[in-house]
Amino acid sequence: MINSKQRKYLKSLANTIDPKIIIGKNGITENLLEQINDTLEANEIVKIKILKNNLFDDKETIDEILEKLDAEFVSHMGSKFVIYRQSKEKIIELP
């Protein structure tokens, strides 16, 4: 579990990255989860954009991703979410 200081640090890192994952009308698929998992393993932090044509609630969508991938919520900015999960090879040094 990350604390508020670490969350603030991760939010500052996320400001400089573009969304790497875009969720559309198909919602969460196995393919999408695999793509998010690979991105988390490679970068530890990922910004996800949920399009307006998504048929599901944004909060439910992100909660399902967090649960299935054992990731942690960092921030929410409009239709963009940032999640974090430490990879096997530590990439981001948290304060």
Whole-structure pTM value: 0.91
CATH number (domain holding residue 53) = 3.30.110.60
Tens of pLDDT, residue by residue over 40-88, are 999 999 999 999 988 888 899 999 999 999 999 999 999 999 999 999 8
Q: What's the mean pLDDT in 29-50?
A: 96
HEC string for 10-43:
HHHHHCCCCCCEEECCCCCCHHHHHHHHHHHHHH
pLDDT for residue 86: 94
Number of domains in the chain: 1
Q: Is residue 34 part of a domain?
A: yes
User: Residue 31 falls within a domain, yes or no?
Assistant: yes
**The domain containing residue 49 runs over which residues?**
4-84
With respect to residue 92, please indicate whether it lies within any of the assigned structural domains. Answer: no
- Classify residue 94: in a domain, yes or no: no
Structural domain includes residue 29: yes
